Amino acid sequence: PTSAVTAAALSCRRYVAGGQCKSTAKLEGKVVIITGANTGIGKETARELARRGKVIIACRDIAKAEAAASEIRAETGNQQVIVKKLDLANTKSIREFAEKILAEEKELHILINNAGVMLCPYSKTADGFEMHLGVNHLGHFLLTFLLLERLKQSAPARIVNVSSLAHHGGRIRFHDLHGEKSYNRGLAYCHSKLANVLFTRELARRLQGKSPRRPEFTANALHPGSVHSELVRHSFVMSWLWKMFSFFLKTPREGAQTTIYCAVAEELDSVTGQYFSDCQPAYVSPRGRDDETAKKLWNVSCELLHIQWD
């Protein structure tokens, strides 16, 4: 009976762990940027990609990022794990970060928009955006815009946006984007994750329009799974539930697999505008497939950020 229980527990764990990235593709001479890579899924993504090439960890908390980077350098033997300051809740910081990257890096091959906030009490970014929308969507939208030419010059290049299954519960509330009329922190997170999916879809459409056959430049989104990470720190109830049910949650390493897959898998060389979970294509909600909303969100995002992105 004990061995049967152990076997059942192991198969349950294997099921929870989900898909694994099997690609061993090297990234020699290639440069990867990962936002929010000082903890959780981002850190595990950085750890794995540092075994393959140069990784730039872009984080708000420099001390924490340096600790993560030195741990990764020691473990992988790769000294090209670099920390740069980036606060996605502040467009000034995003612009300064991009300027430094453009000055220092002649090439950029993979941009992983991984950082995120979840279940924050109502607050606004330095630019007056609701925090979830500001960090999870608008911050990454601006960052991608500023680095786009360098990515294009370095093609083949990839953009990987970490979204979530939570996008199914989201809607883009154009009449109240910043939650000033009504705010629910769970829904605000869902809305921002839907924005990630729509941004990916519209970005891929625009990039593909230039070379429809074989895009040298791809953009895909993903759901990492339910992961035991610090992302729920703003909610006592969620933190408690996460602890109680940790056996049924992915570890950060397991949660990073689909991000790594989207970043390196050779079979995705010309796949763009898709959404993945457990290292395979996954179902996107009808709202996540709404091209009109995607276009409108794109235009509204440009207005809010005072940029022209045609």
Q: Which residues are catalytic?
A: 189
* DSSP track, 77-144: ----EEEEE--TT-HHHHHHHHHHHHHH-S---EEEE-----SPPS-B-TTS-BHHIIIIIIIHHHHH
Q: How far apart are CA 265 and CA 258, in angstroms?
A: 10
Q: How far apart are CA 148 and CA 136, in angstroms?
A: 18
Strands (E), the chain: 27-35, 53-59, 81-85, 110-113, 157-162, 217-223, 275-277, 280-281
Tell me the two tokens of residue 303. 């207005």
For the chain, how are helix, strand and coil distributed in percent, rounded to 5?
50, 15, 35
Q: How far apart are CA 130 and CA 109, in angstroms?
A: 31
Nearest alpha-carbon partner for 219 in 208, 235, 230, 232: 208
Q: What is the β-pairing status of strands 110-113 and 81-85? A: unpaired
